[in-house]
Amino acid sequence: MTAPRVVSLAPSATATVTALGAAELLVGVTHHCDRPADIGSAHGEEFPIAIGGWLNPDLDRVADLDPDVVLTSDGLQSDLAEDCRERGFDVRHRAPATLDEAVETFAARGADVGRPAAGERLAADSRRRLDDVASAVESRPRPTVYCEEWSDPPMAAGNWVPDAVRAAGGRYPFVDPGERSREVDLAAVERADPDHVIVHVCGHGDRVDPETIASRDWAVDAPVHVIDDSLLNQPSPALIDGVERLAGLFHPETETYS
């Protein structure tokens, strides 16, 4: 069977395909995707080709790549997914909203690119790692945590982040699991009196000065932790790394994640 030609229009999809060990299938990715290193592509050294942003890719260029499957993700790409279908592309759109749904998507992505067994293994390994975290933080006090996905204006992280905080042994009173991130009143953060502030500004990696948050005119006396936004902002296997990172921050006495 000929290996499918895959175009990924979502950073989370690109990261998941790479984690599946199937990066060589990628013939096109967006400028916002982390390009797989040393993939040994059978298509040539120029692949995968960058085909624009994740919300505004060049669909003519996508067509030139003659993909067998196009991967999209998130509700923000719903219209883009439909545009791709209208062009005749075989689109696999996955839009998980919770941590459980994100893990289920790892298996689905395996099926999307013709690697179902690898997808099932990745999902099973992710669940095992989450179970290990749950065991490590069980019965420990749960600190209150505020996670900021955007800082101007401040936005409390939603989607799978509330699940990630709880999986890591924390308490997250700002957004319910599965709900979209939303602007937050700093007074509401003050009233919650968080023990930790997690900053993972979308698109900034870990390039945020924690002092810009710590020095705000607010009555919050908590350590500010800046982490790479890929660990929390995309429903890829990096999210499991993010849960483990949070567990180490919330429970440094847990040697496994400290």
DSSP string, 94-122: E---SHHHHHHHHHHHHHHTT-HHHHHHH
DSSP assignment of 137-148 equals HTTS---BEEEE
- pLDDT score of 34: 85
Give me the domain span that covers residue 153: 96-258
Residue 40: band (very low, low, confident or very high) from pLDDT cuts 50, 70, 90: very low
Residue 253: is its pLDDT beyond 90? no
- Here the tokens at position 243 are 């849960």
Are 165 and 77 in the same domain? no
Per the structure, how many domains does the chain have?
Answer: 2
Looking at 65, 95, 125, which one is the last position of a domain? 95
Give the pLDDT confidence of 179-199 residue by residue, as tens digits.
999 999 999 999 999 999 999
Helical axes 238-250 vs 116-137, angle rounded to 10°:
10
- pLDDT score of 257: 67
Residue 15 is part of a domain; what is its CATH number?
3.40.50.1980
Average pLDDT over residues 7-30: 96
Are 54 and 1 in the same domain? yes
Looking at 73, 95, 117, which one is the last position of a domain? 95
Count the neighbouring beta carbons within 10 Å of the beta carbon of residue 61.
14
Are 6 and 29 in the same domain? yes
CA atoms within 13 A on the CB side of 8: 28
CA atoms within 13 A on the CB side of 157: 25
Give the pLDDT confidence of 63-83 residue by residue, as tens digits.
999 999 999 998 899 999 999
- pLDDT score of 3: 87
Average pLDDT over residues 90-117: 98
Phi, psi of 204 (to 5 degrees): -105, 0
Looking at 95, 125, 155, which one is the last position of a domain? 95
Are 105 and 91 in the same domain? no
Task: Report the length, in residues, of the chain.
Answer: 258
Are 143 and 185 in the same domain? yes
Are 151 and 173 in the same domain? yes
- pLDDT score of 204: 84
Are 100 and 89 in the same domain? no
